Amino acid sequence: MNKKLVSAILCGTMILGAVSPVMASADGKKIALVGKSAGNAFFEIAAASFKETVEAEGGTVDVVYPETATADAQIKVLDNLISQQPDAICIAANDVNALQAKLEEAMDAGIKVSSFDSAPNKDSRQVFVNQAGTVAVGQALMDAVLDITGGEGQWAVLSATSQAANQNAWIDAMKTIMEGDEKYSKLELVEVAYGDDEPQKSTDQTAALLEKYPDLKVICAPTTVGIAAAAKYLQDNGSACKLTGLGLPSEMLEYTGADDEHSCPYFYLWDMQGLGKLSAYATISLVNDEITGAMDETFTAGDLGEFTITEADDGGTEIVLGLPLQFNSDNIEEMAKLY
Ligand code: RAM
């Protein structure tokens, strides 16, 4: 290209840039964010960051929680939302398959559907924001169980609800990893118990596990509600059974340490503010038709940078935020200030 042409194009671009109005990317858009259940700090933290991100881009967010952590209660929420016709719904699913008809109805009505944290099946969503790859979470947890048991003995899972899409995916990943490598062969998974993401039920289930299995070495709770309840119970009772799983540093501060005084040597989670932010940008990009949720599409998530849509384990698509992060006595105090 000759120099005159280049400077003419540059000049034109600059003039256009100067006169075109500066629009935030979510101007006037209405987005609904649906969590798994009310009263769970995990969703409150993610929702705050989601809301802040969308509002900074000029849109509004309605954060809605179902009455219980069930698919039926989420279907009621979705019915109500569909009648309000928001631009998008971003949901953490309480069941893999049970929301399909409702979410398809939403998409048929022109509402964009994204999901975060807990994915409904591939036909129920356009894209899933996965906080840390499903296998990566399963691997981190399985290796923690191996390490904390000392390589052998009984362990149990304390999960959320029996239908929870994300917990079940992590538990399946753990089982596959455990069965696929000789180094886990001396570990015995005795039970998967369900505390339904309710503190009292999670405490009761912890007590029941200890009673049933006096030699239990480790409980792995891949739920922030379950791990916090189990941490308190084990520590208050001076139990020899240790704990790991997925938790919020702010809720695990007093229980984390590699000594006898603490019930949890270390546990994992991910960047919670990043999860809210990435989910917000993915949803805004769907609303603006910058992405459709197809594999290999890319978009920019503000200061988090550029992300590429990849294939998820269930055959749908996902956007992975990053790797699971470990919290232990070295970093828990700092991280507890953040989430
Ligand atoms: C609970 C919820 C949530 C899960 C975290 C780890 O807060 O079940 O879905 O991602 O734990």
Q: For residue range 62-74, list pLDDT tens digits in order.
A: 999 999 999 999 9
Q: For residue 23, what pLDDT is reported?
A: 62
Ordered DSSP codes for 82-129: HHH--SEEEE--SSSSTTHHHHHHHHHTT-EEEEESSPPPGGG-SEEE
Instruction: Single out the residue of 81, 88, 26 nearest to residue 55, CA to CA.
Output: 26
Q: Is 121 in the pocket of ligand 1 (CB under 6 A)?
A: no
Q: How confident is the model at residue 273 (pLDDT cuts 50, 70, 90)?
A: very high
> Could you tell me the distance, in angstroms and rounded to a whole number, from the CA of residue 276 to the centre of ligand 1?
13
List, for residues 96-150, the tens digit of each pLDDT value.
999 999 999 999 999 999 999 999 999 999 999 999 999 999 999 999 999 999 9
Question: Could you tell me the pLDDT band of residue 8, with boundaries at 50, 70 and 90?
Answer: very low
Ligand 1 centroid from CA 195, angstroms: 12
- Which of 117, 158, 174 for a ligand 1 pocket mutation test, highest count of atoms within 8 Å of Cβ? 117
How do residues 299-339 score in pLDDT, each as one tens digit?
999 999 999 999 999 999 999 999 999 999 999 999 999 99
Closest CA to 141 of 126, 124, 156: 156
Q: pLDDT tens digits, residue range 207-264?
A: 999 999 999 999 999 999 999 999 999 999 999 999 999 999 999 999 999 999 999 9
CA 16 – ligand 1 centroid, Å: 47
Which atom of ligand 1 lies nearest, measured to the CA of 36?
9
- 242's enclosing H/E stretch is strand 242-245
Q: Residue 224 CA: which ligand 1 atom is closest?
A: 11
| Residue 95, pLDDT score | 98
Report residue 22's pLDDT band, with 50, 70 and 90 as the boundaries: low
Is there an atom of ligand 1 within 6 Å of 42 CB?
Answer: yes
Residue 1 pLDDT exceeds 60:
no
128 alpha carbon – ligand 1 mean position (Å): 15
- Has residue 18 got a pLDDT over 60? no
What does the mean pLDDT of the chain come to? 94
- CA 15 to chain centroid, in Å, comes to 44
299 and 290 in contact (C-beta within 8 Å)? yes
Ligand 1 and 51: CB distance under 6 A: no
Q: What's the CA-to-centroid distance between 161 and ligand 1, angstroms?
A: 10
Determine if ligand 1 sits within 6 Å of the CB of residue 220.
no
Q: Given phi > 0 = left and psi -120 to 50 = alpha, else beta, which region is 261?
A: alpha
Are the C-beta atoms of 76 and 17 separated by less than 8 Å?
A: no
CA separation for the pair 336, 172 (Å, rounded): 29
User: Which tens digit of pLDDT belongs to each residue from 166-215?
Assistant: 999 999 999 999 999 999 999 999 999 999 999 999 999 999 999 999 99
